[in-house]
Amino acid sequence: MTTATAPLGEQRRKAATLGGSFSSQMMARAARDSFVKLDPRRLTGNPVIFATWIVALLATVSTGLAIKDGTAWGFALQIALWLWATVLFANFAESVAEGRGKAAADSLRATRVTTPAKLIVDDARGTVVPTPAHKLGVGQIVLVEAGDVVPADGEIVEGIASVNEAAITGESAPVIRESGGDRSAVTGGTTVVSDWIKVRITSEAGSTFLDRMIAMVEGADRRKTPNEVALAVLLAGLTLIFLIAVVTLLGLGAYSGVKLDPMVLGALFICLIPTTIGGLLSAVGIAGMDRLLKFNVLATSGRAVEAAGDVDTLLLDKTGTITFGNRMATDLIPAPGVRPEMLLRATLLASLGDETPEGRSIVELARNRGLVLEAPKGATVIPFSATTRQSGLDAGDGKWRKGAVDAVLKDAGLEASQAPAEFTAAVDRIARSGGTPLAVSEDGVLMGVIHLKDVVKPGVKERFADLRRMGLRTVMITGDNPVTAAAIASEAGVDDFLAEATPEDKLRLMRDEQGRGRLVAMCGDGANDAPALAQADVGVAMQTGAQAAREAGNMVDLDSDPTKVIEIVEVGKQMLITRGALTTFSIANDVAKYFAIIPALFVLGLPALGALNIMRLHSPQSAILSAVIFNALVIVALIPLALRGVKYQAIGAGKLLQRNLLIYGLGGIVAPFVGIKLIDLIVSGVGLA
């Protein structure tokens, strides 16, 4: 028996907020890791930092030779040290990003089952054999009783139990799991709190959901995402370009009679290559996964996070996502001759014993209209039944009913055709608008009709408007008839809807959208959602959902909250924006570095080039050193941004680009002018160069 330490979700939430939440222990671990990562074999995947590593090594050797020869070496040593610092800072950024995942993984590991599972060897006689969890094979059936930890992922074949899934989701309220249907999956590491279940094991030891989760948060098998690969190609290309530009200066400089110090050329090279984004690229990716984790969403790959930013179409199930999923009373229409307050009272009394969401919504409606009543003493609740199709309350002197219109009319001794015209008109109007009419009677007298409707969640409309500005189209999927669907669609402000939808329709719609070159995201929990989840570019499975669905999606929402898709899209976009912003910033930085280094490089041989020293830097040496220091420090300065991500705003692509170009493009040009000048003041003031 094991216990999870703190619920993971909570831990993650803590770890994911920046600032004080970084334990000094995590920072120390990251600092240690950044030295471990100096191993050149670990750097080959990052050409920019690898190039920096090589130049740092050369600079060190050259410093060593200078010391040995007894020539001036102070400047060379400083350059060499700052070059190493550049590599270390880049490593540190990656380590810090990984650190948070590692911490989460550690707490997950603690939830692994160590107690033996109860393997059923003879179902008829109920014989169980204690077996270690890691020895369980797929297809075997285990008994899990109250207090037991589910030994591995599986499907309930018999029984019903409430299960505490806090170890996985961080949510401590237990959930019901039962055989058959979409709530039959259980996850290894969760605890049965009451009753018992028989579970057929569906995954091998080592590849359970928990295992995959650990691997994911730890980033153990992190592969570069397609966009990251493309960006790496660009950065490698730029590195080569600058290599050419710098190496050929040897010849061009010689022609001009300028003697060039290889150390300084190396420094120029490092300043020009995009070390900022090169150093932060992987941290940005890891942080993106991490931010999803903060929302309690697990992505199976970075590719999925990236795809989330690209989603064009969002397929949303109506129930639970757009509407509360329960019909609620929104209006009361009295029958002719009935005063509204009489109807309100009758309706409330008919619903006092009704514990269904619909019943509660009526009580709520009455309260909002200022009527609160207790059930009369000795009243009996008449529950809903399939035969009467109505429910209500009987008290000594009266009986109140509400239910299907025809059933209530019949009770009132009326044929449908005999119903008052106003009443029938109201019923029709409600039905046409996609609502459900419920008739109300008091002592067998028709009182009026309740308008029940599917209520759109507050704020949903605004979110869809946001999504539209982000360029996403929302399509509502519902089993309702087209009339109801259209009414809700227009109320919620979705762009389109699919009514009376079967899972096949959903899949077809998705393929249609994809055929038109759109990327589609959806969420789902049922086993019949699995094909569509697999087809979707971003398929978010609910943690509470069927095992098949969880396998098919490329993300799992641990909170099982279908509205999460929207956050997921935002996280995806945020990650891409951060990457773009840092790349732009990095390249724009080079302008100022040129103005620092080029005059410093040539001014002795060609004094006229002193005119390019527009920052009025103190001396050639201080200029070069300042540029190198700036180049290293800017990585550290940007680590928080890389981890936190650039804020995404749903203001449309044009405005967003304008804003980011201004900050990171123009800012990238201006910032180093200021930074290098300041560093130069310090460097020359302190007398370092």
Partner 1 sequence: MNGQGWAEIVLTIVLTVGLAWPLGIYMARVWQGERTWLDPVLRPIEALVYAACGVKRDKGQNWVAYAMSVLAFSIASFLVLYLILRFQNLLPLNPQGFPGLSPDLSFNTAISFVTNTNWQSYTPEQVVSTFSQMAGLTSHNFLSAAAGIAVAAALARAFVANRSEDLGNFWIDLTRISLYVLLPFSLILALAYVALGEPQTLIAHVTAHTVEGGKQVIALFPTASQEAIKQFGTNGGGIFNANSAHPFENPNPITDLIEIVSMNVLGYACVVAFGRVVVAKPDARALVIVMGLFVLAASSIVYATETRPAPALVAAHADAGVNMEGKEVRFGAPSTAIWVAATTGASDGGVNATHDSLMPLGGGIAMFMIQLGEIVPGGVGSGLYGMVVLALIAVFVAGLMVGRTPEYLGKKVESREIKYAMLAVLILPLAILGFSGVAAVLPVALKGLANPGPHGLSEILYAYSSATGNNGSAFAGLSANTPWWNTTLGIDMLLGRFAYAIPVLAIAGSMAAKPKLSATAGTFPTDGPLFVGLLIGVILIMGGLQFFPALALGPIVEHFQVLHAVAAR
Residue 594 as a binder of partner 1 (CB under 8 A): the answer is yes
Strands (E), 335-397: 380-382, 390-395
Q: Which is nearer to partner 1, 133 or 472 (CB)?
A: 472
Query: Which one-letter amino acid corresponds to residue 184?
Result: S
Q: Which is nearer to partner 1, 297 or 467 (CB)?
A: 467
Q: Which residue in 173, 386, 421, 608 binds partner 1 (CB under 8 A)?
A: 608
Residue 604 as a binder of partner 1 (CB under 8 A): the answer is no
Q: Which stretch binds partner 1 (CB under 8 A): 27-35, 55-63, 223-231, 454-462?
A: 223-231
State which of positions 171-200 bind partner 1 (CB under 8 A): none
Q: Residues near 561 by Cβ (< 8 Å), separated by ≥ 6?
A: none
Q: Which stretch binds partner 1 (CB under 8 A): 175-183, 222-230, 356-364, 555-563?
A: 222-230
Q: Which is nearer to partner 1, 309 or 539 (CB)?
A: 309
Q: Checking DSSP bridges between strand 538-542 and strand 520-524, what pairing results, if any?
A: parallel
The number of residues that bind partner 1 (CB under 8 A) is: 77
Q: What is the DSSP letter of 8?
A: H
State which of positions 227-266 bind partner 1 (CB under 8 A): 227, 229-234, 236-238, 240-242, 244-256, 258
- Taking the complex as a whole, the smallest distance from the CB of residue 300 to partner 1 amounts, in Å, to 18
State which of positions 285-324 bind partner 1 (CB under 8 A): 306, 309-310, 312
Query: Which one-letter amino acid corresponds to residue 413?
Result: G
| Spatial distance between the Cα atoms of 553 and 301, rounded to a whole number of angstroms | 11
- Whose CA is closest to 199, among 303, 101, 128, 296? 128
State which of positions 63-82 bind partner 1 (CB under 8 A): none
| Spatial distance between the Cα atoms of 111 and 183, rounded to a whole number of angstroms | 22
State which of positions 552-591 bind partner 1 (CB under 8 A): 572-574, 576-577, 579-581, 583-584, 587-588, 590-591
- Taking the complex as a whole, the smallest distance from the CB of residue 572 to partner 1 amounts, in Å, to 7
Q: Which is nearer to partner 1, 176 or 229 (CB)?
A: 229
| Spatial distance between the Cα atoms of 293 and 583, rounded to a whole number of angstroms | 25
Q: Which is nearer to partner 1, 74 or 237 (CB)?
A: 237
Q: Which residue in 18, 612, 633, 681 binds partner 1 (CB under 8 A)?
A: 612
Phi/psi region, residue 447 (left: phi>0; alpha: psi -120 to 50; beta: rest), is alpha
- Whose CA is closest to 601, among 624, 570, 569, 574? 624
195: annotated active-site residue: no
- Taking the complex as a whole, the smallest distance from the CB of residue 512 to partner 1 amounts, in Å, to 13
Residue 473 as a binder of partner 1 (CB under 8 A): the answer is yes
What's the CA dihedral at 552, 553, 557, 561 to 10 degrees? Answer: -100
Q: Which residue in 68, 125, 259, 516 binds partner 1 (CB under 8 A)?
A: 516
Residue 670 as a binder of partner 1 (CB under 8 A): the answer is no
- Taking the complex as a whole, the smallest distance from the CB of residue 594 to partner 1 amounts, in Å, to 5
Q: Which is nearer to partner 1, 136 or 268 (CB)?
A: 268
Give the relative orientation of helices 47-69 and 275-294 as an angle to the nearest 10 degrees.
130
- Taking the complex as a whole, the smallest distance from the CB of residue 581 to partner 1 amounts, in Å, to 6
Residue 657 as a binder of partner 1 (CB under 8 A): the answer is yes
| Spatial distance between the Cα atoms of 106 and 309, rounded to a whole number of angstroms | 29
Q: Which is nearer to partner 1, 339 or 647 (CB)?
A: 647
Q: Which stretch binds partner 1 (CB under 8 A): 210-218, 496-504, 600-608, 672-680?
A: 600-608
In sequence order, the β-bridge partners of residue 528 are: none
Buried b (16+ CB within 10 A) or exposed e, 503-538: beebbebbeebbeeebbbbbbbbbbbbbbbbebbbb
- The encoded tokens of residue 315 equal 């397929």
Q: Which residue in 294, 360, 463, 468 binds partner 1 (CB under 8 A)?
A: 468
Residue 51 as a binder of partner 1 (CB under 8 A): the answer is no
Q: Which is nearer to partner 1, 4 or 307 (CB)?
A: 307
| Spatial distance between the Cα atoms of 194 and 287, rounded to a whole number of angstroms | 38
Q: Do 533 and 514 meet the contact criterion of CB atoms below 8 Å apart?
A: no
Q: Which is nearer to partner 1, 128 or 582 (CB)?
A: 582
Q: Exactly one of 182, 317, 557, 590 is catalytic; name it.
A: 317
Element (H, E) at 654: helix 653-660
- Taking the complex as a whole, the smallest distance from the CB of residue 608 to partner 1 amounts, in Å, to 4
In sequence order, the β-bridge partners of residue 127 are: 122
- Whose CA is closest to 460, among 325, 299, 359, 288? 325
Q: Which residue in 385, 652, 674, 685 binds partner 1 (CB under 8 A)?
A: 652
Q: Residues near 117 by Cβ (< 8 Å), separated by ≥ 6?
A: 130, 131, 132, 133, 136, 142, 144, 151, 152
- Taking the complex as a whole, the smallest distance from the CB of residue 557 to partner 1 amounts, in Å, to 21
Residue 677 as a binder of partner 1 (CB under 8 A): the answer is no
Residue located via tokens 């390019």: 612
| Spatial distance between the Cα atoms of 477 and 506, rounded to a whole number of angstroms | 7
State which of positions 2-31 bind partner 1 (CB under 8 A): none
Catalytic positions, please? 317
